[in-house]
Amino acid sequence: MQHLDPDRLVLLALSEESEELTESDHLERCAGCRHDIASLREVAELGAESQELRDLPAPPERVWDAIEAGVARTAKPAVTAPVVSLADHRHRRPRRRWAPLVAAAAAAVLAVAGTVAFDRFAGQRAERSVAARATLTPLPTVSADASGRVRVLTDGALEIDVRNLPLTTGFHEVWLLDPDDPTKMVAIGNLSGSRQDVLPVPPGTDLNRFRLVDVSDEPHDGDATHSGKSLLRGTLTS
């Protein structure tokens, strides 16, 4: 039995040509060719319909933001080194609370990821994944459209993205504060003035303790301590 030629099947499926009598006869008798042509017709129809799917608009960025937030909520601690769990901390430390900060800290679910910089000691390159992240919000004295986002990677890199920070005659500096004792803090580094920066978190920093990210306005006064002028804050969660 002479089956229909593949080129011919395509032409018929696209309705570019119509069946000859001998072809109709064959199709009636041959389930294989019938199946082929039915499949190709279906594909041709779907292909024609797919025109409206070209250049589908990308979903708005808020969808991705929501995905990131959802993923962050489900994240397990991604660190390989011994993790200082929050539960341990709570157990060990008396609850000294520092009122202005606690409101923000308490609102967040704290399940933070541990100590930075184990890979260096482990002597192997761990995968870079996110150990903790924070959304920074402006303090009341700062314009409400100022904002920021922070991600701390397992290798200790702190990625920060800030928007609409007030202008400064000095510079903007990033800190990690201990919300339970806000006189204790780690200076992370200053922002370059571009929107995004990557700063190194000192190896050994306990992100469970120093979990409050703070961006301050620092004058050029040669005083390395915090100026007391905080602009943005947010609590790290894993």
Partner 1 sequence: MSSDDELAERLRSGDEKALRTAYERHGAAVLYLAQRLLGNRADAEDVTQLTFVAAWTGRDGYDPQRGTILSWLLGIARRKVVDRLRSAARDERVTETVRTQLSPAAAPETPERIVDRLIVADELGRLPDEQRRSLELAFFDDLTHPQIAAMTGLPLGTVKSHIRRGMASLRRRWEVDGAAFGSRSAGPSRAL
Longest CA–CA span in the chain (Å) reads 95
Per CB under 8 A, 61 contacts partner 1: no
Indicate whether 47 belongs to the interface with partner 1 (CB under 8 A).
yes
CB of 190 to partner 1, least distance (A): 27
Residue 119 CB, nearest approach to partner 1 (Å): 15
77: tokens are 């601690």
Nearest CA to 194 among 232, 148, 228, 151? 148
Within 8 A by CB and 6+ apart from 220, the residues are 169, 170, 171
Question: Phi, psi (5° rounding) for residue 85?
Answer: -75, 155
Is residue 111 involved in binding partner 1 (CB under 8 A)? no
| Residue from 6, 100, 166, 193 in contact with partner 1 (CB under 8 A) | 6
d(CA 164, CA 19): 68
Question: Counting contacts by CB under 8 A, is residue 44 touching partner 1?
Answer: yes
Contacts of 169 (CB under 8 A, 6+ apart): 219, 220
Nearer to partner 1, 6 or 100 (CB): 6
Any contact of residue 127 with partner 1 (CB under 8 A)? Answer: yes
Site residues for partner 1, window 76-95 (CB under 8 A)?
A: 78
Binding residues for partner 1, rule: CB under 8 A, are: 6-7, 10-11, 13-14, 16, 39-40, 42-44, 46-51, 53-54, 56-60, 62-64, 66-67, 70-71, 74, 78, 127, 129-130
